[in-house]
Amino acid sequence: MNLVRQYLRDTLWVALGYLVLMTGALAAAVFYWPDFRDNMPAIFKLIPFDALRDLIAGIDEFGYWAYFAIQQYFKGCSLFGLAAAALFGSGLVAREADQKTAEFLLSRPVSRRRVLLTRFAVAAVLVVAPVFLSSLAGMAMSPLIGEHLALTPVLLGACYLSLFLLMQLAFCTWLSAGFEHQLKAGIILIGLMLLQFALYLVKGLGDYTLFALVDVNRLAGMTTGQFPWPEAASFAGAGLLFLLLALRRFERRDF
């Protein structure tokens, strides 16, 4: 419990800010929906990239659910969720090396494995909980604009993107376990994801990026209970692999 309290003391306010940003951005998007719906043909003509036109086409086909999914899961999680995963994961180990406090942390009568797993578990909750809470808040706001969302697709979307973000958190933790500067791992993660998004916008390359796995083509079917199990399993498997690599690196590291 001491490990949990110590980590929460350093990160809780950041997590609350992340929740406020996720919820606020989604609220703005929800209340913008009537204007977006009425002006969709004009908006479609202004979009320069085929990949983004496909997102608009998905909204035209699947309606409010596709709009909600794009705003919350594709955009919100890819922006605020990515930043949270980078921030929490980057300092998980490297912060101790950066601030010269590793000796104090490791002097406790607990194994390195327990230290890392405890910190990772807390960070995972802080990254994932706002995804669910803001999604449920968005669902509750929808009737105010005359729209209704079922609970099942909202929860399925939150679960799917949570696995996506946990994979990124585990990757960042693996990097953090070998770095001296507490922000370096997060900067690398954000840089790689920005590159992925840039490639997503390129016709012919977008289908081979991570963002293609979380766009409207994967999210639309959740309204009928369809869940992209292969992609979700890939996120979970990659996340577990990166976490195991992080444990190995941390246990062997000489601070």
The number of folded domains in the chain is 1
- pLDDT at position 147 is 97
- Which tokens in the block code for residue 239? 């996340």
CA 10/CA 183 separation, integer angstroms: 15
**Which pLDDT value is given to residue 53?**
85
Domain with 106, as residue range(s), is 2-252
CA pseudo-torsion sign 230, 234, 235, 237 = positive
Residue 156's pLDDT is 96
| pTM, 2 dp | 0.94
pLDDT of residue 1: 63
Cα–Cα dist 150/142, whole Å: 11
pLDDT reported for residue 96: 84
- Which string of DSSP letters, residue by residue, matches 160-190? HHHHHHHHHHHHHHHHHTT-SSTTHHHHHHH
Separation of alpha carbons 86 and 181, rounded Å: 13
Q: What is the mean pLDDT of each run of 10 residues along the chain (255 residues)?
A: 77 92 98 94 81 86 94 95 96 85 76 92 96 98 97 97 98 95 94 96 92 93 91 98 97 84
Cβ pair 221, 157 in contact under 8 A: no
Task: Give the CA radius of gyration of the chain.
Answer: 19
CB 242 within 8 Å of CB 169? no
Residue 130's pLDDT is: 97
How is residue 89 written in tokens?
């994961």
